[in-house]
Amino acid sequence: MTTRFIKFPWRGFAGSLLLAACGTIHGMAQDGADAAAKPALQKRPLRSAAERTTWVATLRDSYARPPIAWPAPHVDEGVRWQEIGRLPAVPHPAANPHNQPKEALGKSLFFDPRLSGSGHIACASCHDPDLGWADGRTVSFGHLRKPLARNAPTIRNIAFQPSLFWDGRSASVEEQAEAVLLNPTEMHVTPEQVVAALTAIAEYRALFAAAFADDEITFRRTAEALACFQRTVVGGHSRFDRFMTDRRDALSDDELIGLDLFRREARCMNCHHGPMFSDGGFHNLGLSYYSRQYEDRGRFVVTQEVADMGRFRTPTLRDVTRTTPLMHNGLFELSGVLNMYNAGMPTLRRQDYQHDDPLFPVKSPHLRPLGLNRQDLADLAAFLGTLEEPRHRVRPPLLPAAP
Ligand code: HEC
Ligand code: HEC
């Protein structure tokens, strides 16, 4: 690796092991001298072709059954897991019921840069349907093209998220939309500016009248329409979904082995479970860069609870192969992420001056070295690829004409 602008936040044996394992981390410096250190855990032996064939037959048999009869997942005691599966119907809240005109209005607003203070940034600038409703960047460019602190997540399936943002600081999609608009580093606009800009456009007045009881344009209604549209951006047509719809042949042998690894030996179901492949909870994976240049305290900033230091919300894994780069800081590719999980994730070492620091972040106890071999890692990656939605060209709407 040649890029040199970020130092990895951990040192010593575990760090060197990880650095040796992660060939695909963006911009990470390898600063351990003992990079060739041996892995702490013996890797599982590779399977021969014949052994794989026998194993696949066993798995086809197990997974042909209804999920309730599948092999039990490997989760730690106390984890309240839910089986992976198909998405339920979208829950539109009673306070913001869905109707077609509101969805259409929300879509128009989502693509309209006139919602931003600069007049140049739309929601779709950073949540682009052609890029899996994310932006394909490490971190997004915000107002006046200033880089933001975090990676833009997809907005697909956010209807099913119990909280929004990497740190869960918004409790509803409506609240989230208001927060992004007002954020000076993102849309950089005031409620009054939004209302004035939209009221000046005759077609928006008509669209609001169709979507709501009357033609009053308010900041809240703008957020409601945006939320209503975003809740219609849902997946559910991946090959995994077909597999779950009694099409058990929809997964290849590699992918099926990967599914089983995901549920068992790789221990992913400790946090990524249910139809969203997320527990909606917050965990510390050792990526907080605590007291380093790229520090992100995550959930702690929201709750001020010591236990939340460096915790981030478990992201969905649906469509994850479309939204690289990954993690809250956008510093990783999928193969690097899998290598890190296999090594048990980085363990931050306390510096001398940090021995009594009560805020020092603690890594999740669910993470530990997995001992997966390269076949396993490839199978796991193949399974994650089955969560990808088929490509549908989303036509940006024709925006209402300027006044
Ligand atoms: C400049 C880029 C940018 C723009 C413009 C932008 N977003 Fe985002 N969006 C982000 C980033 C970055 C995050 C993650 C921030 C965080 O977690 O702290 C995010 C998070 C979100 C989330 C939460 C997703 C999740 O999984 O929790 C939603 C929903 C969302 N944005 C919707 C919108 C809407 C609606 C607009 C327009 C009003 C918008 N965004 C405009 C970059 C942007
Ligand atoms: C302890 C809970 C936990 C376990 C176990 C876990 N994850 Fe995660 N996963 C998370 C959290 C939390 C994040 C986000 C962390 C961050 O950004 O700092 C994440 C992020 C990811 C991402 C990046 C997603 C994105 O959109 O950026 C992938 C891919 C992923 N996990 C796959 C897996 C796989 C595969 C396994 C099993 C080998 C696994 N995870 C095990 C909690 C967990």
Please tell me whether residues 105 and 207 are part of one structural domain.
yes
Of 334, 332, 322, 344, residue with least CA distance to 389: 322
Opening angle at CA 42, ends 41 and 46, nearest 5: 140
Pocket of ligand 1 (CB under 6 A): 121, 123, 125-127, 140, 142, 148, 150, 152-153, 155, 158, 161, 164-166, 173, 176-177, 180-181, 186-187, 226, 230
Which pair of tokens denotes residue 357? 């620091």
15-19, 87-91, 237-241, 363-367: least confidently modelled range: 15-19
At residue 40, the pLDDT reads: 61
Domain count of the chain?
Answer: 2
Please tell me whether residues 198 and 281 are part of one structural domain.
no
Within a domain: 139? yes
Pocket test for ligand 1, best of 154, 180, 190 (most atoms within 8 A of CB): 180
Please tell me whether residues 172 and 294 are part of one structural domain.
no
Burial (CB < 10 A; 0-12, 13-18, 19+), residue 189, is buried
**DSSP labels, 173-190:** HHHHHHHHHH-TTTT---
Please tell me whether residues 207 and 271 are part of one structural domain.
no
When computed from its CA atoms, the radius of gyration of the chain, rounded to whole angstroms, is: 23
pLDDT per position as a tens digit, 6-22: 334 443 333 333 443 44
Of 195, 230, 265, the position where a domain reaches its end is: 230
At residue 379, the pLDDT reads: 98
Backbone φ/ψ region at 254: left (φ over 0), alpha (ψ -120 to 50), beta: alpha
Of 230, 247, 277, the position where a domain reaches its end is: 230
Helical H segments across 64-150, by residue range: 100-111, 123-126
Within a domain: 396? no
pLDDT band at 222 (very low <50, low <70, confident <90, very high): very high
Please tell me whether residues 261 and 354 are part of one structural domain.
yes
Say if residues 230 and 106 touch (Cβ distance below 8 Å). yes
Of 230, 263, 279, the position where a domain reaches its end is: 230
Within a domain: 108? yes
Within a domain: 147? yes
pLDDT band at 193 (very low <50, low <70, confident <90, very high): very high
Q: For atom 43 of ligand 2, which residue has the closest CA?
A: 271
In angstroms, rounded to a whole number, what is the distance separating the alpha carbons of residues 348 and 361? 8
Q: Return the bridge partners of 141, or none.
A: 147
pLDDT greater at residue 8 or residue 251: 251
27-31, 36-40, 280-284: least confidently modelled range: 27-31
Please tell me whether residues 122 and 190 are part of one structural domain.
yes
Euclidean distance between the first and the last CA atom of the chain, given in angstroms as a whole number: 52
Domain at 53, CATH number: 1.10.760.10
In angstroms, rounded to a whole number, what is the distance separating the alpha carbons of residues 345 and 347? 7
At residue 348, the pLDDT reads: 85
Please tell me whether residues 253 and 159 are part of one structural domain.
no
Please tell me whether residues 271 and 352 are part of one structural domain.
yes
Q: For atom 34 of ligand 2, which residue has the closest CA?
A: 268
Please tell me whether residues 195 and 288 are part of one structural domain.
no
Please tell me whether residues 81 and 115 are part of one structural domain.
no
How far away, in angstroms, is 125 Cα from ligand 1 center? 10
pLDDT band at 42 (very low <50, low <70, confident <90, very high): confident
Q: For atom 19 of ligand 1, which residue has the closest CA?
A: 152
At residue 352, the pLDDT reads: 87
How far away, in angstroms, is 285 Cα from ligand 1 center? 22
The answer, yes or no, to whether any atom of ligand 2 lies below 6 A from the CB of 327, is yes
How far away, in angstroms, is 259 Cα from ligand 2 center? 15
In angstroms, rounded to a whole number, what is the distance separating the alpha carbons of residues 221 and 319? 30
Please tell me whether residues 171 and 309 are part of one structural domain.
no
How far away, in angstroms, is 120 Cα from ligand 1 center? 16
The answer, yes or no, to whether any atom of ligand 2 lies below 6 A from the CB of 328, is yes
Q: Return the bridge partners of 170, or none.
A: 164
Of 277, 285, 299, residue with least CA distance to 340: 285
Please tell me whether residues 80 and 118 are part of one structural domain.
no
What is the extent of the structural domain holding 363? 46-86+238-322+330-385
Burial (CB < 10 A; 0-12, 13-18, 19+), residue 48, is exposed
Within a domain: 182? yes
Ligand positioned closest to the Cα atom of 335? 2
The answer, yes or no, to whether any atom of ligand 2 lies below 6 A from the CB of 271, is yes
Within a domain: 14? no
Say if residues 159 and 147 touch (Cβ distance below 8 Å). no
Within a domain: 36? no
In angstroms, rounded to a whole number, what is the distance separating the alpha carbons of residues 158 and 180? 15
Helical H segments across 64-128, by residue range: 100-111, 123-126
Q: For atom 3 of ligand 1, which residue has the closest CA?
A: 126
